[in-house]
């Protein structure tokens, strides 16, 4: 895998402004010496910003929000949010991140007790949540001026957030897991904790605010062999308009052909079943020609939906 700039090089060069300012301590000096031997690799505890900068974006700046939710389960139709963490930051279209201008972190008591496996994963107990309620008015105010909301697996977070507030449905969304081509850069997993370890950091995962700090670190890091940050790569994809293609009643015996082409199976709560894929506008016609190849004998007209960052990662129930 193409290597990131080493920690020792980062210490000698300018560090990422506003996010990872470090001072060389005795411990850091020792860590650098170990790494310099080539025999050791040292993981640093991911540092978190001590304060926010109270300011508005200038003419050439935009406002982004990184968020994460902890929930009682995986189904946004029946499960509840138990924690919402958000970090608001200033960025430019080139992908540079400057100041953090807001932090939000609140717990929420669910309708049903938190399952034991969720408590083991998050360390969030029913006692911690008793009487807690996320203030939706505060949430709406916090996200009000956001140009873009980013989550690591936005297809999971967005439906839960839209259950909390309709304001989330009016925002543009992006996904740091799927809109940065991590595999192309030699990474072997899309999991947030793994990506941070590859960057040389560790942190307490599965708490909302900690995970948002981790995502912000991914976005602010320069990608291997690229003169751009993770955020720059994400913005390039997020700004594109794509087409969602749904192949309804496609012949079952050809399902492997669809899988090999990247199609996924969906059964939504409207009792609809279909294979789907999302392609760029310039590849739409090629994809439709593929579905209509004579060998498939597919006579149903595929359903097409134009997708932008405003619609991307909505639940099927709200998208279709």
Per-residue pLDDT of the chain (320 residues; tens, 9 = 90+): 444 444 444 443 433 333 344 456 788 899 999 999 999 999 999 988 768 999 999 999 999 999 999 999 999 999 999 999 999 999 999 999 999 999 999 999 999 999 999 999 999 999 999 999 999 999 999 999 999 999 999 999 999 999 999 999 999 999 999 999 999 999 999 999 999 999 999 998 999 999 999 999 999 999 888 789 999 999 999 999 999 999 999 999 999 999 999 999 998 766 789 999 999 999 999 999 999 999 999 999 999 999 999 999 999 888 87
Residue 165 CA, chain-centre distance (Å), reads 19
d(CA 141, CA 201): 32
Count of Cβ atoms closer than 10 Å to residue 38 Cβ: 7
What's the CATH number for 62-238?
3.30.420.10
Domain boundaries, the chain: 7-44, 62-238, 242-319
Nearest by Cα to 151 from 249, 92, 218: 218
Contact 186, 224 (CB under 8 A): yes
Contact 202, 196 (CB under 8 A): yes
pTM of the predicted structure, to 2 decimals: 0.88
Contact 242, 305 (CB under 8 A): no
Architecture of domain 242-319: 2-Layer Sandwich (3.30)
Q: What is the pLDDT of residue 4?
A: 46
Dmax of the chain from CA atoms? 70
Name, in order, each residue with C-beta under 8 angstroms of 72's C-beta and a sequence gap of 6 or more.
79, 80, 82, 110, 112, 114, 115, 118
Contact 151, 176 (CB under 8 A): yes
C-alpha pair distances (Å), 120 with each of 4, 115, 130: 33, 9, 18
Fold: same for 62-238 and 242-319: no
């Amino acid at each position: 895998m193409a290597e990131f700039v080493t920690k020792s090089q980062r210490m000698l060069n300018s560090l990422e402004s506003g996010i990872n300012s470090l001072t060389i301590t005795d411990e850091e000096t020792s860590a650098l010496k170990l790494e310099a031997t080539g025999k050791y690799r040292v993981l640093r505890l991911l540092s978190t910003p001590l304060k926010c900068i109270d300011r508005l974006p200038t003419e050439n700046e935009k406002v982004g929000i990184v968020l994460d939710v902890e929930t009682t389960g995986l189904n946004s139709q029946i499960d509840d949010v138990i924690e919402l963490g958000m970090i608001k930051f200033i960025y430019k279209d080139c992908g540079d991140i400057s100041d953090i201008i807001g932090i939000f972190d609140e717990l929420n008591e669910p309708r049903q007790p938190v399952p034991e496996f969720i408590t083991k994963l998050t360390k969030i107990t029913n006692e911690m949540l008793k009487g807690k309620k996320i203030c939706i008015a505060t949430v709406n105010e916090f996200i009000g001026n956001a140009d873009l909301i980013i989550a690591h697996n936005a297809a999971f977070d967005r439906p839960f957030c839209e259950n909390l507030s309709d304001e989330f449905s009016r925002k543009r969304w992006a996904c740091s897991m799927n809109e940065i081509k991590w595999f192309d850069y030699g990474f072997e997993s899309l999991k947030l904790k793994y990506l941070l370890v590859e960057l040389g950091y560790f942190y307490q995962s599965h708490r909302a605010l900690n995970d948002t700090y981790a995502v912000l670190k991914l976005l602010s890091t320069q990608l291997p062999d690229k003169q751009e940050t993770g955020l720059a790569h994400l913005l390039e994809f997020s700004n594109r308009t794509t087409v969602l293609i749904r192949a309804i009643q496609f012949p079952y015996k050809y399902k492997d052909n669809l899988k090999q082409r990247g199609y996924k199976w969906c059964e939504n709560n409207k009792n609809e079943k279909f294979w789907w894929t999302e392609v760029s506008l310039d590849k739409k016609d090629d994809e439709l020609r593929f579905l209509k190849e004579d060998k498939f004998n597919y006579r149903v007209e595929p359903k097409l939906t134009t997708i932008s960052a405003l619609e991307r990662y909505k639940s099927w129930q709200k998208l279709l």
